């Protein structure tokens, strides 16, 4: 079965510092991976997705993520944090072992990013 | 841009009431999903649908049912609301994508309904 682990339920950085949000996955089939962001009282917005075309994926708002099969990781980074990046971030994996997935995603528990001035 | 619209942002109901949460998408997506989101528990899948009148249970279907009479609309029903169903409810949709064990299609989410059961 697929699973996603996000290390650190809370991450705090200073404005201008590097943002690193960790995601490790477990999948018995070739995975597709996604990062979503959720601002307060809103739904989830797609940041980026890995669909096997390239291991380094660039998304919106200056975020990027690198797929590392050997480490089963898909960490999210941004070189310089901005106050507007404060939100909750979710990593998700698609795929099931057998049958048809129907597009189901397995989500991590989420990481709340706080950005200090 | 895909638009997923949930009928209410905030809803307050009483214990024992039958509650309907409505979701409409405008991009002709085959798949639709209902989640609930609780602090510390992430998103948990309640039900999903991959075609009109087709539905499958997710991870936590107890106390809920769904209806999909038209492709663009997916309704979540709380048969007899209880206080432990107080939560944020999120609807999502996605294209069918390539058939098989994985899908490269992202899900698109509505803004959520914050439901309180008193």
Cβ–Cβ below 8 Å for A43 and B40: no
- Helix, strand, coil shares, percent, chain B, to 5: 5, 55, 45
Q: What is the mean pLDDT of residues A2-29?
A: 92
CA distances for A33 relative to A51, A78, B15, angstroms: 7, 18, 39
Share above pLDDT 90 across residues of chain A, in percent, rounded to a whole number: 70
Span B83-117, pLDDT tens digits: 999 999 999 999 875 555 556 788 999 999 999 99
DSSP structural state of residue B30: S
Q: What gap in Å lies between CA B61 and CA B79, rounded to an integer?
A: 11
A45: pLDDT strictly greater than 70: yes
Q: Which residues on A lie below 8 Å from B104 (Cβ)? A: 32, 49, 51-52, 94
pLDDT for residue A25 is more than 60: yes
Judged by CB atoms within 8 Å, which residues 42-61 of B form the interface with A?
42-43, 45, 48, 50, 56, 58
The whole-number pLDDT of residue A94 equals: 84
Return the pLDDT at A100: 61
pLDDT at A54: 84
Q: DSSP letter for A61, please.
A: G
How is residue B105 annotated by DSSP?
A: P
Q: What is the pLDDT, as a whole number, of residue B16?
A: 97
Set of chain A residues whose Cβ sits within 8 Å of the Cβ of B89: none
Count of other CB atoms within 10 angstroms of residue A52: 12
Nearest chain B Cα to A8, which residue? Answer: B40
Distance (Å) from the C-alpha of residue A27 to the closest C-alpha of chain B? 10
> Do the Cβ atoms of A101 and B45 come within 8 Å?
no
Q: Which of A31, A94, A39, A92 has its CA nearest to residue A61?
A: A39
- Optimal mutation site among A103, A105, A110, A111, interface B, most CBs of chain B within 10 A: A103
- Across the interface, whether the CB atoms of B104 and A32 are under 8 A apart is answered yes
Indicate if the pLDDT at residue A83 is higher than 80: yes
Q: What is the pLDDT of residues B42-59, one digit of tens each?
A: 899 999 998 888 899 999
pLDDT tens-digit profile of A92-107?
988 655 556 667 888 9
Question: Looking at beta carbons, which residues of chain A come within 8 Å of B111?
Answer: 41-43
């Amino acid at each position: 079965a697929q699973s996603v682990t996000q290390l650190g339920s809370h991450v705090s950085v200073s404005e201008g510092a590097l943002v690193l949000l960790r995601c490790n996955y477990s999948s018995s089939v070739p995975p597709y991976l996604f990062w979503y962001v959720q601002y307060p009282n809103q739904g989830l917005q797609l940041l980026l997705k890995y669909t096997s075309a390239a291991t380094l994926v660039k998304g919106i708002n200056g975020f990027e993520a690198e797929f590392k099969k050997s480490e089963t990781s898909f960490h999210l980074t941004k070189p310089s944090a901005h106050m507007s990046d404060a939100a909750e971030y979710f990593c998700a994996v698609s795929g099931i072992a057998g049958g048809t997935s129907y597009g189901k995603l397995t989500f991590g528990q989420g990481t709340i990013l706080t950005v200090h001035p | 841009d895909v638009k997923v619209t949930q009928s209410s942002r905030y809803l307050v109901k009483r214990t024992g009431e039958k509650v309907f949460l409505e979701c409409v998408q405008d991009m002709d997506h085959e798949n639709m999903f209902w989640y609930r989101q609780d602090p510390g528990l992430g998103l948990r899948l309640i039900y999903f649908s991959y075609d009109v009148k087709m539905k499958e249970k997710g991870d936590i279907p107890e106390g809920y049912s769904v209806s999909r009479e038209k492709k663009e609309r997916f309704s979540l029903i709380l048969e007899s609301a209880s206080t432990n169903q107080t939560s944020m409810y999120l609807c999502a949709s996605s294209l069918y994508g390539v058939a098989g064990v994985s899908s490269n299609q992202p899900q698109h989410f509505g803004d959520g309904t914050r439901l309180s059961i008193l």
